[in-house]
Structure 1
Amino acid sequence: MAASPLIQQLMEAFRCLPGVGNKTAQRMAYHLLERDREGGRQLSLMLQKAMDGIGRCSDCRTLCETETCSLCAGNSRDDTVLCVVENPMDVEALEQATDFRGRYFVLMGHLSPLDGIGPEELGLDGLGERFANSALQEVILATNPTVEGEATAQYISDMAREKGIRTTRIAHGVPMGGELEYIDSGTLSHAFSGRRDLT
């Protein structure tokens, strides 16, 4: 027996989430309907609030509820260093794992001509304005080590170089605790070519 049309629509709604296929969507829908209707109502309420109340920071473009996010509003950040990342989760990861005190710029993706994502969609015109009208001394490119991420980093590096701004790229390679025999050849090659002197 097929599920009712409303249950089918609920399952289809869950499928908009990354990594959620038919079976996972079915489990989620039936879990909420059978065991946690109050949780489903709370989820619905919070989704509505988030979709209506969360926008982008006018400075760094990360997701926030105010005109300017808390990181950009703070006066303790270093205005001479800008870290460019692909998405807001990258900002959170860097804030938790590093002592970086500079500013951020969130691309909300990477260059992907096949998907129709070009410089305009990533806000690179705004980034270019920041390069031209600020006291920036260094741009740290922290895009993902994918073909698209590397192409995006190169594009931004060229933009910064035109303005005389130093550009650096985060290191990629062997993770802490990793063993060389289990590292894929691309990562190992990148780590080997990016080796540095020990002091």
Structure 2
Amino acid sequence: MPFAPGQLILRRYFRGERYTFVQPARVVRDDEAGLLLWLMAGSEFAALVDADGRTAHDLAVDDLRDPRLTRQTWRDHDVLMLMPPGAAYSIWWMFRDGEFALWYVNLETPAERDDEGVDCTDHVLDVLVEPDRTWSWKDEDELAARTGRDGYFDAEAAGRIRAEGERLIKLAESGEFPFDGTLTDFRPDPAWRPAALPPGWDRAHR
């Protein structure tokens, strides 16, 4: 069953069987084009943080010391996020003070659904696309450091991840959807407010 417009769901990342990131998001629509979510600045989220304050961006998950999901506040940007069916990426329209700021291409596994929300595994590598469609890679060094590690990807899989990023870069360069101006004027329901993590968000494992 599709999620209902306005419904608050959880968008979660996992590595192996461990959750590394949990964020509440508001459903804009859920149809054949994909799941479209609104993530509001000021909302709660949780990320895996270890005893030394390091995260899964700093170290491979197995190298974190006593990691725990830790409540934080999402800052700076509101995000409209499209997760197309079966896609190995999501597209984020990022807004600052109500104005479109950039596209963020988040490479990830296709979403798995349950009643609470959607689960993905982050593919580490991302692409930033400016409003003029110039672009840059993000976290290339992290992809290189994780390639070959247990629970991540081998060199062949890392090549496929980069190739998917390159395919989306070509869409951006040519101004094709989703980089054609669609949704850059999006405005959320004015009744929506920053979301809190709901009860039951904090299970550590899938």
Q: Which has the larger radius of gyration?
A: 1
| TM-score between both structures, scaled by the size of structure 1 | 0.26
- Bigger strand fraction: 2
Structure number with the higher helix fraction is 1
- TM-score (norm: length of structure 2): 0.25
